[in-house]
Structure 1
Amino acid sequence: MKKLKSLKARVLFLLSGLILLVFLLIFTAFNLLISSYIESSATEALTRVRSDGIPPDMAEDRVRPEKKYPEIPGGSTERLFVTEDYEVLVPDFYPEVTESSPLFEVKTAVEKREISLEEGGVKRLTAGEGLYYYTVVKSRSLTGMDLYEVHFINMSNLYDFEKNLSQMLLLIMSVALLLTVILGYLLAGRIVKPVKALSVFAKRMGEGDYDKMESEFSDLELHELKTVMNETSEKLKKYQEDQRTFFQNASHELRTPLQIIKSNAEALEVGLLEKEKALPVMKCEVDHLGSLVEDIILLSKLDARMEDLKKEKLDLRETLSASSERFMSLLLEKGLTIRYDFPKEPVYFTYEEKTLERAFENLLSNAVRYARHEICLSVSRAEGRIFIRVEDDGDGMAEETRKKLFDRFYKGKDGQHGIGLSIVKSVISAYEGRIEVKSGKDGTAFIVILPDPIESEYL
């Protein structure tokens, strides 16, 4: 398993690494530029003087400069005369050579043969604590002796400047790195603190505590995350309350027929009721119980958003007709008629016939219960949607009833167990549709609105 790192450590590491990388690049670039400047300056100065040789009237034991050599910011160009045996001839115009002078350091380097007498090019020499560049030109004295002119320039001042500035940069880099670590630690703490708070909030939700998080965050992203988590918490809280209410109501609804069955069975057992009276009641309650259990199972499946529905492309007109035919005997018994307002062309939709049929049956059952003379079923297409209308000519319903109509286990006037219409809403929602209710003194209309697949194909 990959080792996990804390967010604070990661932020500190990234900030420190970035600052360190930037300073290393600056430090390296600075040293390269200064070194390049020192070398190019020395090379330029020595190149201008390397063509100067020993004047024709120069004696073996006396050398004098022919002209003053150019100066550069690092220092002036000087020269020594050296024999092929590395004997240094110090010109008499030089002041007394001390051990701390650049001339002494170069003279010592020559005598130790640390300087090559090969002609051509500019070479680097580190002697003592100084930095020098030199070039060698071969010449001849009046006596015919081979001499080598060692032209050199002392670049120690620039070299010392480079070292001092490098040390200063290193000091600045160290201070900046320390400040970065401190500021990074504070910044990381500022980032990690709300993340930890959100983590605690998420843990609370997992443990069933759905109270809102009241903390405010100044960062937009964290504020948006908190808002989403609060909304999720509200949904989970409502879902839990709905589930609790659902199971309380379900247990009550299941207990009622079971108690009736039990009491009739006990009365039958002790002879308080005759079989002819007890058995029909028990059978009716068993049917009621079975219907209720089926509805609860269907609701559970829809709540779980099961994807195993066997959908196929079918004609909604045929499904509505088949659903209404199951109520024909009841319609005849109550003296009701059904009027169909269907288009001539098929109205295709992809669905599982069993679930949508169940929704239509619940709507029809509700219409049969409250209709006075007629029920109207209609299907139409408009504006990229399919409209299915189930309408009765009953007395209508109160506004308070209409608002609670789709709540689970809410029983309206003459209602049964109160989950029929909630099943309708869940089924329609599973197909990305919605249901609306219009009610007045002339009756009630349930309008199912589904997305039209034919229109969707052209989008």
Structure 2
Amino acid sequence: MKHIKVRILATIWVSIFLLFVPFYIILNLTLPVHFEKEAKAALTYEMEYMSSMQKQESEDAPALDYVGIFFSGDICFIDLTQDPAENSAADNSYGKYNVQSAEHDVLSYYDSQGLPFGQIRTLKTDNGYYIMVLYEDVFSWDGEKVPTIMYLNIQPIVQYTKRLNWLLDAIFLCVAAIMSVIGFRLGGQIEESQENQRRFFQNSSHELKTPLMAIQGYAEGIQTGVVDPIHSAEVIMQESDRLTRMVEEILYISKIDVHQLVLHIAVLDVRELLYDCLRSAEPIQNKKQCSVVTDFPDAPVRVRCDEDQLTRSFMNVLINGMRHCDKTVWLSCKADRHIITITIRDDGGGMDPQDLPHVFDRFYSGKKGNTGIGLALASDIIRLHKGSITAHNDKSGAVFEIRLPVAP
């Protein structure tokens, strides 16, 4: 799959956009409508209360207890019978009525459009968002009904909610930026994993071809009678064993990659595992005609491990040392209260400095040929045991250090 990072980023931005759209709708559409409804309800309640008071005076009916609702405390009144000079102390800068800006907007609408008694109207101007109604005020000093405009300006609260858009924009950008960084890194890891997988299968097929071609070549030689059958059979057996080991290692690495390798953990003496490796590696040691110098402590060194898997990792590193040594391999084990350190050192001259960072990479092709997957598998198994393995050169050759936690 190509362009994984781009696809992940696109998915993240679209998802975040769809997540924030409802909030934008609520802030910019739903809340203003809700506030307008609340304002109309407040004016309606006020008129109902006035009506109940009027009935109480004329019919001796019980009046409503005034409890008010949302916006009731913000209602403003304009007495249409009052002298304009008494409506406001402001300068006479608005023509017919000497009033403040909000009253000027309401009265301008009243003059131009008129207001039917008891019918709520809505007015939006540059200065306000007005909900208003014309009614007869029964609370005049002389007891007369006074035509009065009752109104609410909900623009401040509507503008406040719209200012929250800036906060929402900032949150949107922050979330998008953080998720983009995470998605970009995740996409990079996926692309790297897919590239490693592609190289793994490509290199696996290449490595498997080598013994298969040798087997096929010697088999054809036997068939045509151009090679010695006994020698050819030995080569075929050797290449078959090599092919079997490679297939097993590839299968083990595949299980590790998909987290299907089950470890059967037990507390064991790591010295015994190393002795088992030495016994198993004797054929290679005899063929190489090299010696192995050991340095183990007298006391047991306990480690929690899967015996087969950890032995396999030790074996791979030990055989690598035997194959590249000149005459000697040194194998040592020491432990403190927390860490076990196993060192495998050879006198083969060491690794090329350019190859050192890649010595545990699968099928890495160095200057001395492919390292295969033996060291890569050893590294993976050791990590599964919460340990680590490193490689470096010393005066005589390559040095591999394996560190594992001591069993409690």
TM-score of the superposed pair, with normalisation by structure 2 = 0.64
| Number of the residue aligned with 2:143 | 153
Q: 2:397 corresponds to which residue?
A: 443
Question: C-alpha distance in 2, partners of 1:21/1:452?
Answer: 67
Equivalent-residue separation in structure 2 for 1:433 and 1:9 (angstroms): 48
Residue number in structure 1 paired with 2:299: 344
CA 8–222 in structure 1, closer or farther in 2 if over 3 Å, else same = closer
* Counterpart-to-counterpart distance in 2, 1:260 and 1:331: 24
Partner residue, 2:26: 14
Amino acid aligned to 1:242: N
Larger Rg: 1
> In the alignment, which residue of structure 2 is the partner of 1:227?
181
Q: Distance in 1 between matches of 2:139 and 2:52?
A: 8
Deviations 1:212-247 (A, max 9, x none): xxxxx9822211211122212222222222222222
CA-CA distance at 1:187 after TM superposition: 10
Whether contact under 8 Å (1:260, 1:282) holds in the other structure is yes
Give CA-to-partner distance per residue, 1:268-308, whole Å, 9 cap, x none. Answer: 11222232122111111111111111111111111222253
CA distance in 2, matches of 1:300, 1:424: 13
Match of 1:322 in 2: 276
Deviation at 1:362, TM superposition (A): 0.6
Inter-partner Cα distance in structure 2 for 1:183 and 1:374: 72
Matches within 5 A, 1:50-449: 130=136, 132=138, 153-157=143-147, 160-162=148-150, 165-166=151-152, 219-306=173-260, 308-331=262-285, 334-342=289-297, 344-349=299-304, 351-371=305-325, 372-381=327-336, 384-411=338-365, 418-449=372-403
Measured in 2, the distance between the counterparts of 1:427 and 1:337 equals 24
Q: Is the 8 A contact 1:331 1:368 kept in 2?
A: yes
Distance 1:220 1:131 in 2: 53
Aligned letter for 1:357? T
Q: 1:447 deviation in Å?
A: 1.2
Q: Please report how far the alpha carbon of residue 27 of structure 1 lies from its aligned counterpart in structure 2 after TM superposition.
A: 5.3
Q: How many residues align?
A: 315
Instruction: Summarize the Cα distance change of 1:329–1:290 in structure 2 as closer, same or farther, 3 Å threshold.
Output: closer
| Inter-partner Cα distance in structure 1 for 2:407 and 2:251 | 29
Question: How far 1:323 sits from its partner (Å)?
Answer: 1.8
CA contact (8 A) 1:42 1:133 kept: no
Distance in 1 (alpha carbons) for counterparts of 2:309 and 2:369: 21
| 1:343–1:379 contact (8 Å) kept in structure 2 | no
Q: Which moved more, 1:292-301 or 1:315-324?
A: 315-324
Normalised to the residue count of structure 1, the TM-score between the two structures is 0.57
Aligned equivalents of 1:26 and 1:341: distance in 2?
Answer: 88
| Inter-partner Cα distance in structure 2 for 1:19 and 1:307 | 60
Determine the C-alpha separation between the residues in 2 that align with 1:323 and 1:288: 18
Determine the C-alpha separation between the residues in 2 that align with 1:323 and 1:311. 19
Letter of the structure 2 residue corresponding to residue 11 of structure 1 = F
Contact persistence 1:317–1:379 (CA under 8 A): no
User: The residue matched to 2:263 in structure 1 has which SS?
Assistant: coil
Aligned residue identity for 1:379? K
Residue equivalent to 1:67: none
Give the aligned residue type for 1:153.
G
Give me the identity figure in percent.
24
CA distance in 2, matches of 1:130, 1:410: 94
Retained in 2: the 8 A contact 1:360–1:424? yes
CA drift of 1:133 comes to 7.3
Segment of structure 1 superposing worse, 273-282 or 312-321? 312-321
Cα gap change, 1:253/1:417 in structure 2, threshold over 3 Å: closer, same or farther?
farther
Q: 5+ unaligned residues in a row in structure 1: which ranges?
A: 45-72, 76-128, 135-150, 192-216, 455-459
Cα distance change of structure 1 residues 74 and 242 upon mapping to structure 2, 3 Å threshold: closer
- Distance in 2, matches of 1:417 and 1:296, equals 14
- Aligned partners of 1:368 and 1:375 also within 8 Å: no
How far off is 1:361 after superposition? Answer: 0.1
- Separation in 2, partners of 1:397, 1:295: 23
Could you report, residue by residue, the CA deviation over 1:314-361 in whole angstroms, capped at 9, with x for unpaired residues? 332322222222123544562413313236144222x32222111100
Hey, what's the Cα distance between the residues in 1 that align with 2:227 and 2:243?
A: 22
